Amino acid sequence: MANNLNNTPRPAPEAEEVYRRWIHFLDEEFTRHHSPERRAEIVRDQLYQLYLGRPHGGKLNLTLTSELPGNVLSLSLDPENVTLEAEHYEDVDPEQFAKRKPLLWFWQMFDRSPIGTNHWLGIRFRCMLGRHIFAHMGAGVKIYHGVDLTYGYNMSIEDGVTIRQRALFNDRGGISIGKGAVIGSFARVYSHAHAADDFSKVTLVPTVIGAGARIASHAIVLGGQQVDPGAAIGRFPTHGA
């Protein structure tokens, strides 16, 4: 691992060049193609390379039961053969979600792949995808591995936000994260509420996390909550008793 003058870990120069070329290629592809079908093809082809180490192509052998697990894997690398939980919600916007579904699947499957915890690459990969998923994506954002999204198109993230690993964002009613805010690992942020007497009745309520706010690890921000700028939610490790 080579270091720069600030001693910030980064890949070796040759690897960094390859990573940047790949992200740039994907960014151009998703900018050029907005149809769900074409985006699904792009994601399928990339996941074949990541998971199977070969290009997509050839026919599946559907007669041998011994090949069924491999066929299931191959078919599931195509977003068109996948269903996501968010598709079952009544408030989903079919058109908005359809354009983002392949990218949401790519997001999840990248993090589960052998390179998903490649820190340098992963942060840049997610920020690239975020520009095509979120309603707004600021500059200098850091999103760590395993972050879970619902729709994505109801998310607005300002400059300099840090989102630690395994945070969850249920953006059904809209989530806005202000400049420089930090979301801790395994935090949960919601934007809807269930009726006390009938869990099936859902009210969508936007949630706002102010600039510079800090959400502690494992903390929960409920739907409709307005976190003031600079405020802290949850418990944070401290020195001493």
- Its pTM stands at 0.91
CA distance 70 to 51: 11
- Are 123 and 141 in a shared domain? no
Looking at the domain assignment, is residue 191 inside a domain?
Answer: yes
- Are 164 and 79 in a shared domain? no
Structural domain containing residue 24: 12-133
What mean pLDDT do residues 204-226 have? Answer: 97
Residue 198's alpha-carbon distances to 56, 173, 203, in angstroms, are: 46, 19, 11
What mean pLDDT do residues 193-221 have? Answer: 94
- Tell me what the pLDDT averaged over the chain comes to: 93
Residue 162's alpha-carbon distances to 2, 134, 170, in angstroms, are: 24, 15, 17
pLDDT at residue 182, rounded to an integer: 98
- Are 119 and 202 in a shared domain? no
N-term to C-term CA, the chain: 38
Residue whose token pair is 């989102």: 163
Q: For the segment 22-39, what is each residue's pLDDT rounded down to a tens digit?
A: 999 999 999 999 999 999
- Are 91 and 79 in a shared domain? yes
* Position 227, amino acid: V
Looking at the domain assignment, is residue 100 inside a domain?
Answer: yes
Q: Where are the alpha helices (DSSP H) in 173-238?
A: none
Whose CA is closest to 220, among 194, 195, 183?
183
Q: For the segment 129-143, what is each residue's pLDDT rounded down to a tens digit?
A: 999 999 999 999 999
Within 10 A of 206 (CB to CB), how many other CB atoms are there?
A: 18
Element counts in the chain: helices (H) and strands (E): 5, 18
Residue 4: pLDDT band with limits 50, 70, 90:
very low
CA angle 6, 11, 16 (to 5 degrees): 110
- Are 51 and 150 in a shared domain? no
- Are 18 and 127 in a shared domain? yes
Q: For the segment 100-155, what is each residue's pLDDT rounded down to a tens digit?
A: 999 999 999 999 999 999 999 999 999 999 999 999 999 999 999 999 999 999 99
**pLDDT over threshold 60, residue 2:** no
- Are 32 and 89 in a shared domain? yes
Residue 163 contacts residue 106 (beta carbons within 8 Å):
no
pLDDT at residue 1, rounded to an integer: 46
- Are 90 and 153 in a shared domain? no
Q: Which two three-digit tokens encode residue 59?
A: 């026919």
pLDDT at residue 80, rounded to an integer: 94
CA distance 155 to 208: 10
Q: For the segment 45-76, what is each residue's pLDDT rounded down to a tens digit?
A: 999 999 998 888 877 776 767 678 888 889 99
Final residue of a domain: which of 118, 133, 148? 133
